Amino acid sequence: MVAKKINFLKYFLIWIVSFIFISTVDAVWHLVIFRNPYVEGIKPVARMAGNEFAFKLIPGLLSQIIVVTSIFLLVACFAGKDIKKAALIGAIAGILTITVYGLVNYSLIEGWGIRITILEVIWGPILGSISAVFVMKMLSSNNLI
């Protein structure tokens, strides 16, 4: 059996592009499309510095890295070039990361509202599917490196 050579640089660059794409789509959802519900929903329970959010960069960045890496690896290992399979894998990954996060917060944090929970329940599979299809298209492109 001949082992297939893996181009780690190619995969790393695709991961970087995927990280930028997924983070941008996620930011547009939270900071543009549904900014007001998220600000209203999170502010009562958020870490604050005066009237501003006191975001902890490292844990926030780590959570985004975990989401992107999970979707990336699941798609790379299981989707092949099947767009429906990639979308399903991404939806499941989104449910396991984002949807579960929203539901757990609603069950544990007293000030976490139902409105923001519903947004997270909806957003998980949407972001996961969009992201997984993007990753699959990037991985299956022959024009890379």
Close Cβ partners of 44 (under 8 Å, ≥ 6 residues apart): 111
pLDDT of residue 84: 97
Question: Quick check: 2 pLDDT over 60?
Answer: no
pLDDT of residue 145: 46
Domain ranges of the chain: 8-140
118 and 68 Cβ atoms separated by less than 8 Å: no
Tens-digit pLDDT profile for residues 30-86: 999 999 999 999 999 999 898 889 989 999 999 999 999 999 999 999 999 999 999
Per-residue confidence band for 141, with pLDDT thresholds at 50, 70 and 90: confident
d(CA 122, CA 65): 21
Q: Name the nearest CA neighbour of 82 among 132, 125, 127, 25.
A: 132
